[in-house]
Amino acid sequence: MQVFKFGGASVKDGEGVKNLACVLQSIGHKNTLIVVSAMGKTTNALELVISNYFNNKAELQSSLQEVIKYHNDILFDLFEIESHPVFKKVKSFFDELNNFFKINKSPNYNFVYDQVVGYGELVSTTIISEYLNAVRIKNDWVDAREFIKTDNYHRRANVNWEETQTIIATKLNTCVLNITQGFLGSDANNFTTTLGREGSDYTAAIFAYCLNAESVTIWKDVPGVLNADPRYFENAQLLSQISYREAIELAFYGASVIHPKTLQPLQRKEIPLHVKSFLNPKQYGTTVSKGVLLEPKIPCFIVKKNQVLISLSSLDFSYIVENNISEIFSLLHSYKMKVDVIQNSAISFSVCIDNIYNNLEKLLQQLRAKFSVTCHENVSLYTIRHYNQTVLNQLEQDKTVLLKQLTQETVQIVTK
C-alpha cells in the first residue's frame, strides 16, 4: 500500500486534474490511497464566506457563488455533457452548505468554520474521483470523516488514534484505488472537524500509519524540500535526503512543505516520506527516512510572517519565576495561541506567537492586569537551521531585530 497526497496547487484547474491522472498513469496506482486538498485557493474563498456569514450577511451569497462558479468552470473543462452525474453530486454539496447557513444556530466561529470549510475537500475529491473513473482509472470515493475520528477541538482537532486505526483497518477496502479528503475528521457526534491549516499531509500520514503503508508521497509544485522558500529567498537548494529528525525540526519551525504533525506517525513505523514535483513526476525529489543525515549541513531558512511578539516584565521589578511562567502559559493555552519562540531573563519574559484564533486583545487584557506589557504586531520570525555568521549578517541587514535566540544548530530572529 502506498499513499499519495495532492495539494490544492496541483488541482487548481482542469489541467491540474488531468495532470493528476497523467501522474497516476505514469508511475502506477496499484494498492494506492490518494489524499486530495481543496482546489486552488478554495479554502481562502470559503474563509471569506464564513466571515461574511458572521459579519456581512449581504455579501454571503455572492461570495458563495464565486466558489460555486470556480468549481463549475472546472467541471465544464473536464466533462463534455452537463448531464454527467458529477454535476448533480457537486450541486448537492453546495445545496447542503447553503442549508447549513439557514439552519445553524451556533454562534461559535470555530465550529462553523469546520462545518463549512471542509466542503472544499469534499467537492474537489468528488470531481477528481469522477474524472478518474471517466478516463478509466477506476476508484472509490471515501469520506475521510467516517474514518478519522477526533475530539471536538475545532480547527485543530486531535486524532483519536485507537478508534481511527480500528475503523480504517476494518472498513477501508484496500483492494481498490481510494480517493479521500485531506484535512477532515469528525468528532463523537459526527460533526466535521479539521486537523489544522495545511493538514492534508497529516491526513496522508494518519492513513499510512493505520494501513502500514510502504511509503507516502506528497506531490508539490516544487521539486522537493528546499533549504528555503523561493518566494522569500533566492537560490534555494534541493535537499535530496534528510532524516526524520531534521525534517521534524524544519516542520516545527514552520517549513511549509511538510505539515508539522505529519512526520511523527511516519517515524514511529519508519514509513519513508517522498516529496516530489507533480510537474516532473519521474524526478527523484526529496526522501525523508530513518538514519539519513543532512549532508552537507547547508543553512536552511524558514520565515513566518504576521507574528506577534509580546514582552512582559513584572510591575514591581520582581523576578519572573515558575509560578509567573505557569500563569502566562495557562493564558496562552486558554486563548489558543501557538507559541513559536520563548525567551526569558530574571525580570522579563518574551514570547512570539501566532494569533490564529484572533484572541490577541483578550489575552493582552489579562496580561496587563499583572504585568507590564509591550506588544509588537505584524513581525516576522526567521529561523535558520545550521546557520553561520555570514548568513546571519545577511539576514539582519536592513532589519530591526527585536529578539534573537541562538542555540548550537538554530538561530531565531524576530524582526520588524
- Give which of 290, 196, 285 is closest to 240, Cα–Cα: 285
Query: Is the peptide bond prior to 296 cis by the omega test (within 30 degrees of 0)?
Result: yes
* Angle, vertex CA 400, rays to CA 397 and CA 401, nearest 5: 95
Q: In what order do the strands lie in the sheet with 177-181?
A: 139-141, 177-181, 32-36, 2-6, 215-220, 273-277, 286-289, 241-243
- Cα separations (Å) of 1 from 217, 289, 318? 12, 17, 59
**Cα 304 to Cα 302: distance, rounded to the nearest angstrom:** 7
Q: Radius of gyration of the chain from Cα atoms? A: 23
Place of cell 495532492: 6
245 belongs to an annotated ligand binding site: no
**Percentage helix, strand, coil for the chain under 3-state DSSP, each rounded to 5:** 40, 25, 35
Q: In this structure, what are the phi and psi dihedrals at residue 91, rounded to the nearest 5 degrees?
A: -60, -40
Yes or no: say if 114 and 194 are a contact pair by the CB < 8 Å rule: yes
**Cα 193 to Cα 110: distance, rounded to the nearest angstrom:** 9
**Cα 366 to Cα 371: distance, rounded to the nearest angstrom:** 9
Place of cell 500500500: 1
Q: In this structure, what are the phi and psi dihedrals at residue 371, rounded to the nearest 5 degrees?
A: -135, 160
Helices of type H across 335-381: 360-368
> Would you list which residues are annotated within the binding site for ATP?
231
> Would you list which residues are annotated within the binding site?
231
